[in-house]
Amino acid sequence: MPDKNAILYRMVLPDHTCPFGVRAKQMLEGAGYHVDDRLLSTREEVDAFKNEHGVATTPQVFIGGERIGGSDDLERYLAA
């Protein structure tokens, strides 16, 4: 049985909630994952996260210590 825990980093700024992050959370929950929902709530947090992980976009999903990617990558992962 694969690990059904996922870590989701997504942008929720005071004036903007990333719709792709919301979509990723819904897909994970729909697939039966427990989601550790980590909100990036300032532009600085978002930029620091992207620099640390070498990614250009959020959200980013991690399952079993492996970076799956954003919501489109997650969709492909869950379909496989």
The model's pTM: 0.92
pLDDT digits (tens, 9 = 90+) for 19-58: 999 999 999 999 999 999 999 999 999 999 999 999 999 9
Give the residue among 10, 8, 6 at the shortest CA–CA distance from 41: 10
Q: Which residues contact 21 (CB under 8 A, 6 or more apart)?
A: 8, 10, 11, 12, 58, 59, 71
Give yes or no for residue 1 having a pLDDT over 50: no
Q: Is 74 exposed, middle or buried (0-12, 13-18, 19+ CB in 10 A)?
A: buried
Domains of the chain, earliest start first: 5-79 (3.40.30.10)
Residue carrying structure tokens 């947090």: 45
C-alpha 7/C-alpha 5 separation (Å) is 7
